Amino acid sequence: MVPEPPPRSRYRAFLYSHPKVMDVQVVGLPSTRWGEVVLAWIRLKPGETCMEQEIREFCQGKIACFKIPEYVLVVDAFPMTVSGKVQKFRIREQEIGEWGLEEFARIRTA
């Protein structure tokens, strides 16, 4: 029996199915309503353009509404380690600061 992938892996797999998406990283951001919401950083295929709304519309009716990314950002690159691994903690830290969520990030949950 193959174990079910963690939720963020499923989000990534789904977002990869968008025809304009080359690469995607998904992290959780703190939310007072849900505890945590989905943030997607997306790298587009060369020559493509895409707006946040297009990604959200692509998700509508295909995944549960609470799984649709609350925040979608198109980026040129992801923060990487010297060995080439994506530094998701840096994405999360940067976006918490960008969206002014520092206070909510300090709240401890279960």
Q: Give me 12's structure tokens.
A: 């990534």
Specify the pLDDT at position 107: 77
How many domains, in total, are found in the chain? 1
Q: How far, in Å, are 20, 55, 69 from residue 48 at the CA level?
A: 6, 13, 20
Q: Is 108 contained in some domain? A: no
Phi and psi torsions of 53, nearest 5°: -60, -35
Residue 44, classed as helix, strand or coil, is strand
Instruction: Say whether pLDDT at 105 is over 90.
Output: no
* Residue 77 confidence (pLDDT): 97
Do the domain assignments include residue 1?
no
Give the pLDDT score at 3: 46
Read off the CATH number of the domain in which 13 is found: 3.30.300.30
Strand bridging mode 71-74 / 21-31: unpaired
Q: Which structural domain range is residue 35 located in?
A: 7-103
pLDDT in tens, 31-80: 888 888 999 999 999 999 999 999 999 999 999 888 899 999 999 999 99
